[in-house]
Structure 1
């Protein structure tokens, strides 16, 4: 079978591997669509494990099951996720499933979503596979995982109907924040990005305001909304955006670190005004099975629509080109790899 082997962002090659053998408790999926995630482009995060096959936003068809598997059968159309929690540790039981050691350290995909066939094993077989409704395309299903991370993030920061929200970064995740925040009844939604194309896409996604991030953003909020934002989402690792975000939250509000800067990069923070003004800081990483299930329902019922965000579809023979396209913010939102194209 063909796979997309990652060496670095500028070197992703189409290579040949054997189709993974299916053992007891395993499931083999014919991958029909797999999205390139923004985290796949974080070279500092990925290169330490290279070479490897990336891809974790995927959907396909079950073509083989090992003995003991009773959750899916051959022919099922499914979404799959590689990381699942143990559901037993103190972190899982207290609602912090993505802090679970099992979640963070066990990868149940072989070799990865940028391949023609994928073996799913371990706990992911029981809690990481979701059957797709007949009405949902494989392409739409690739959004289950990224939307699930946004579901978890907005729950973490306790977004309430009527809250104003400021989103720094208008990549795919930023636009999913716009769409879901609107669906949940948010008040004014403001987005900032340094790329004008992505600002335009944010407006199309439903943002009330989309402004170039080089502007004085706290002043823009004061002028357009009358005050700073109740909720601020940092969906970019750019240090200037992080610094501006910390100045954009109103009294009693919350700042959510959905993205982070590179290791070693720091932001100097005077915590006195945040302490005095009852401002909270939150972080959010990944998505748990309950988040994936909720995301599937949101997509199934059309509460959040995503088809308009797919800008490119390429076969696995063009995986290197696909990574180059995904890294260019102008004219690109979501790049889908179709391994059997």
Structure 2
């Protein structure tokens, strides 16, 4: 009678182990989707390994797994992973098995596609529960056809002890600097489209470079831009006395009686200096405006145009550029405008510069740091 009671007990342990290992796999996918690198690393034993020969990457130990996850996830624009149950073979305090994966991804440098893969797993029972000792990622099918969809702005409603909570989920990390390879790709595309491009470390380098690019005595219009304000370029141009600064002159004019003169001054300076809402890796500059005052000079009215662009504004394509403009830049600019002018901003006019037909006219100073909206 006693022996018959012990057999179900063993079966219950095996069932519990299988449930816990499946939960471990689910926790891995959730940590990856939520970009929680610390939690993902904690799912491995201290000397556990995550091997991904298709990427390629081999990460051994929790710190390498955490840091490697951070490097990989910094490249994502869109990433979705689905895990399907596979096999589990228990052997006391260890286990082996396979989990089946479907993923779609788009990176900030434009790589994208759909794949089906297998995780070959080794697990071990620990005082804190089952943990991976090794996960080996094997891609079985890859389709690099461009993805037609996008990651819309969304909200998640979750229950909590205090009731329900709605959390905004950003469409992408539009505030983070793009990786170096995406900056290089954008610079190459811009150059091919007739723009002059320089990649600089930071705003201080751009401020110094501006003095070399603009001849003393030139008429210069600094368009409204948080990038110019934060970098000190707006103040340097308009207060240095080196140039014929258009903005201070216009602000001193009567907005009604001097309307025609203001329009002409803003539309055709020797040099216009400003920024953009987004720069695509395919070489397009995207500018939005509520009033449109800077657009004639940008489009061709100024003899020369210089744009200072923070690394967080570089995106893979035009669709993502428009999402960045609407989901990220506009809310920030509206908040600023509400304080400054008592009313929100709006995308009343949109300018996309796909090429510069007069080589040497348009210069882009592309920064490695994030600055502005």
TM norm structure 2: 0.29
Structure with the larger RCO, 1 or 2 (CA within 8 Å, 6+ apart): 1
Which structure's residues are more often strand, by fraction? 2
TM norm structure 1: 0.31
| Bigger Cα Rg | 2
